[in-house]
Each structure stands twice: as structure tokens, then as C-alpha cells.
Amino acid sequence: MDTTPTTAVNPLVVQHNALVNAKFDLNTHEARLFLALLARLNRTDTTFSKCQLLVREVVPSTGSNNVYDQVRRMLKDFAGRTLTIEKLSSDGRPLKKPSFTVIPLLAYATYLEGEGMIEAQFNDLLLPYLLELRDNFTKAQLTELLKLKSANSYRIYWLLREYAAFGKRTIRLDELKAILGLDQEYDRFNNFRARILDRAQAELAATDLPFTYEAIKQGREVVEIKFLFKPVTANQAVAAPNSGYSEWEAAVVAVGVSAASLPLIQARLTAGDYDLGYVSYVLDTVKSQVRTGKIKKEGGAVFKALTDGYLLPDYQQKLTDAVSKKKPSPFSSPQRKKLLSELEDAHNSLRFIQTAVIYNDDTRVIAVAEVQAKINQLEKHLAAL
């Protein structure tokens, strides 16, 4: 394992959905530290490295000598935090029969005396939830998360981000309280509304996920919370050159599917109902049906197949048919998908570096050059496929 401390900050933060929905309780400072550690992970890492960050990233300077005593106490509590999380299969997917386990969040956390820095490392049991993620994960921009102040607002943001493409999420009140570590608190819903929901709504209003919510009752008791927000595409592939769309979006729009319908298709992709290979299969199949006169409206047929999934059985049979003459789809190449994902991350990094206040004129120039070089290299690899 590389023991070099990780200090670089990544603008894109990624978690497995099981971690997004895990049950654990953090206070505001611990939530900031958790976020700072997430921002120092690299999606291509295979092991956790120790991370170092300045105390002021977690506890804003107050000019008081007591701040470091506060940090020491916070680290002692934080190092002992556990979470209840869904177990995963060996390939990182949820088990058919859900099962949960309790694991420590960190391997260790310590204050570096005389340096004003915190050093910490994630528990290796979290490896399948944070590194080498291929599906069932949620991305968020660090710039949006840094706008939030309370620990509960962080967690609610992630819960909504997971459903970003749907534009809504309904969750049982008791489940939401458990996820936030508040299952033994707020017996009166009005208190939970004022201190948790309304505060999160006010804080998320400044992010890319402003929301409204409805309290759904059963009789006189509130049993569910329905969150409503503007649908946005999540885990979107890199934009195709000279268009406003990703590669698959451009292909779908080209056959007559409305751009307004893209979030519905993206929602199916994000949920793992099918992969991009199915999108390519639908386009080829419908085009063939148009040529033979079986259907007249190509766009409508593509939209129905992608939202209803009625061609999925045929597609899955094609995948398992050893004598199939269907050529491999360029959309479904694992290597291509990996490169596209890395290229998307690199473009996000470039936008972050160009505007983030943590860079000065000198460090920004160096960082931009490094990321641009990586973008050029990835584009060259894509062009060679």
C-alpha cells in the first residue's frame, strides 16, 4: 500500500448507493471531515491511503486556543463512529436478499501536533463502497456540497442526488430518521419538520438540488416524506463534440426523441435497469423495423422501448446467444465506458480548478495544465478505439 499522505482535493465526490443510504450519525464537524476525506479519494485507487487536511477545513478558525482541544475531542468521537450498511456481493452489487452489517467508518484519525493538520484513513471494509465503483453509485460536485452547513443537510442532499434523474423521492419517515441517526429523537413531527426538513430545504436552496416536500399521512400520523425537485441527469456520459449531448443522447435525439424525455431514459440507466448496450440495440432494432415498414414513427418507438423496456428480453437473449451475428456495440465496450467516465471526471476537474478559490494564480496554472494533459491523453485513447 502507498503510505504517501493524500492531500489533493477532487471536485467530484462519489459513493456507492449503499453508503448513501447507510444508517449513521455525524455532527456538523464530523460531516465536514467525512466530506473532506471523500474529496481526497481517487476513483482509480485500489486501496485507501492516509489523508491529511488542514484543521480549518473542518473547524473554521475562531481565534481561540480551545479550537485544537475541540478537534482532539471531535477526532476521538469520530474515530469510534460505526455505520449500519447493506452488504454487497463480490462484484459490488446489492444481494438478492438484503442483509446489513455494522462496520467502523475509519481505520484511525489523529491530530498532528504543531502542524495544524488532521490525518485519517477510511476503514478497509469500506473499499467496495468507495473505490473502483462501476455501477450503483452516486456522484456529487464538491462545490455544491461545500454550500451546506448541517450534517443532516449533507445526508439529505445525497439521498436526493441518488434520485436526481427522477425528480422525486418518497421515503418513510422512520427510515429517514434511521438513516440520519435520529430514530430515537423528534417524537413530534413538527419538531422534525422545523429542525431537520425546513433547515435542509433552506440550505439546499443554494445548491443544484433545491426541493419542496410533502408530509404524507396515514390517518393523523405522518408516515412518509415526498421530496420533489427538478430532474437532472446523473452519471451523464461526456458530451459529444460540437453538441450539447452525450454520445447516446445525441443518437437518441437524432431519431426524433424529445430532449425533454432524456431524463426519463437516464433514470432507467442510473437505476441499472439496463446498460448503454441496450440503448444501441433499441436504436438498431427500431431502425430495422422502420425499414421493413413495421413501424412508422421511429422516435416514438425508441422512446417506448427505452422507457418501457419491452425489448429487454430480446436484448438479453442476444447477449447470451452464442451464435448471434450481432456485432459488439460501441456503446457497451467496457474499455470505452471506463475512458468516457474518466474523461467526464477530468472535464469536471478542469471546471472546478478554473473557478475554485482554493487555488491561487500560480497553483491554478499548474493544475489546469496537468488536467488538460490528462484530457488530451484520454481523448487520444478514445479516438484509437
What CATH number does residue 74 fall under?
1.10.10.10
Q: Are residues 112 and 75 in the same domain?
A: yes
Range of the domain at 166: 147-232
What's the average model confidence in pLDDT over 364-379? 77
Q: For residue 329, is it within any domain? A: no
> Is the model's pLDDT at 361 over the cut of 70?
no
Over range 284-304, report the average pLDDT. Answer: 85
High-pLDDT (> 90) share of the chain, %: 26
Which of 320, 347, 365 marks a domain boundary? 320
Same domain, 176 and 279: no
* Ranges 103-107, 321-325, 358-362: which has the least confidence: 321-325
Is residue 328 included in any domain, yes or no?
A: no
Q: What is the pLDDT of residue 64?
A: 59
Cell of 143: 462545490
Beta bridge partners of 246: 239
pLDDT the model gives residue 239: 36
Percent of the chain predicted with pLDDT > 70: 85
Q: Is residue 373's pLDDT more than 60?
A: yes
| CA–CA separation, 119 and 111 (whole Å) | 6
From residue 41, alpha-carbon distances to 154, 158, 308 in Å are: 18, 17, 37
Q: Does residue 254 surpass a pLDDT of 80?
A: no
Specify whether 158 is located in the same domain as 131: no
Asked if residue 120 lies in contact with residue 51, where contact means CB atoms within 8 angstroms, the answer is yes
* 186, 90: one domain: no
Give one DSSP letter per residue of 13-31, joined into a string: EEEEHHHHT-B----HHHH
* pTM over the 0.85 mark: no
Classified as helix, coil or strand, 94 is: strand
Cell 485507487, located at residue: 45
Asked if residue 236 has pLDDT above 50, the reply is no
Residue among 248, 16, 26, 25 nearest 140 (CA):
16
Distance of CA 86 to the CA centre of its chain: 17
Grid cell for residue 281 = 440495440
Q: Based on the domain organization, do 206 and 160 belong to the same domain?
A: yes
Of residues 291 and 173, the one with the higher pLDDT is 173
Residue 239 lies in a domain: no
pLDDT for res 180:
93
Q: Which residues contact 199 (CB under 8 A, 6 or more apart)?
A: 150, 152, 153
Shared domain for 2 and 134, answered yes or no, is yes
- Determine the average pLDDT of the residues in 279-303: 85
The 3-state DSSP composition of the chain as helix, strand, coil percent (nearest 5) reads: 45, 15, 35
Q: Residue 227's pLDDT is what? A: 95
Give the pLDDT of residue 204: 94
> Does a structural domain hold residue 351?
yes
Q: Indicate whether 125 and 151 sit together in one domain.
A: no
Average pLDDT score, the chain:
81
| CA-CA-CA-CA torsion sign (123, 125, 130, 131) | positive
First to last CA, the chain: 32
With contact defined as beta carbons under 8 Å apart, do 34 and 80 qualify? no
Per-residue pLDDT at 356: 64
* Residue type for position 6: T
Distance CA 116, CA 126 (A): 27
Domain assignment of residue 237, yes or no: no
* Tens-place pLDDT, residues 198-218: 999 999 999 989 999 999 998
Task: Find out whether 375 and 343 touch, Cβ atoms under 8 Å.
Answer: yes
* pLDDT at res. 326: 44
Query: Domain check: are 22 and 125 in the same one?
Result: yes
> 51 with 178, same domain?
no
Question: Which of 93, 112, 138 is where one domain is finished?
Answer: 138
CB 247 within 8 A of CB 331: yes
Amino acid at 206: A
Burial class (CB in 10 A: 0-12, 13-18, 19+), 378: buried
pLDDT for the residue 343: 77
Question: For residue 106, what pLDDT is reported?
Answer: 94
Q: What integer pLDDT is reported at residue 243 of this predicted model?
A: 40
Q: Residues 153, 88: one domain?
A: no
- The verdict on residue 326 lying in a domain is no
d(CA 83, CA 345): 28
Which of the pair, 263 or 149, is modelled with greater confidence?
149
Residues sharing a CB contact under 8 Å with residue 230, sequence separation 6 or more, in sequence order: 167, 210
328 pLDDT exceeds 60? no
The helix/strand/coil state of 62 is: coil
pLDDT of 358 reads 62
Please state the rounded mean pLDDT for residues 50-60: 82
- From 6-10, 224-228, 379-383, the region with the lowest mean pLDDT: 6-10
Mean pLDDT within 238-251? 55
Predicted local confidence at residue 214, as pLDDT: 94
Number of domains in the chain: 4
Domain boundary among 204, 232, 260: 232
- Beta-ladder partners of 170: 226
